Amino acid sequence: MGSDEDKALPPDAKPAAPRRPRHRVLKAGLVCYNDRHVTVPCTVRDMSDGGARLSVAGSVGIPDTFELYVELDGSWAGCEVTWRRGETVGVRYTTPVTVEAKKRIQVINSAGAPVKPSLRRVPKPAAGAD
């Protein structure tokens, strides 16, 4: 009991491929199919060189093959669904990821001049001073 022989794979079984390192992300994406005439919004949860994990409302309606567009990166990739669990879908890339010019740039501007934080009280204006 508990020997290595008990855990050996059958001769015709292939060992599982090593997993590629995944990077956690939270990016908006689009599942595109039917020559990009149909798009479904999704959220990219993590990405690797070989695929991604997506959250899609109603993942049952997502076809087995589609194109994934990540707007923030400007990247396109052909994908194939490898697994489905509820509203989460795992995909592998069937084409190399291509990056095009971004259609939208994320810019954060302050509403006013930067204010240096201070613990001092702001002096009240003098009464009757105009």
- Model confidence, pTM: 0.64
Longest C-alpha distance within the chain, in Å? Answer: 95
Domains within the chain, CATH numbers bracketed: 23-97 (2.40.10.220)
How many whole angstroms separate alpha carbon 46 and alpha carbon 52?
6
Question: Average model confidence (pLDDT) for the chain?
Answer: 80
pLDDT tens string 6-29:
445 445 544 455 566 778 999 999
d(CA 29, CA 24): 14
Alpha-carbon distance 69 to 71, whole Å? 6
Q: Strand, helix or coil at 103?
A: coil
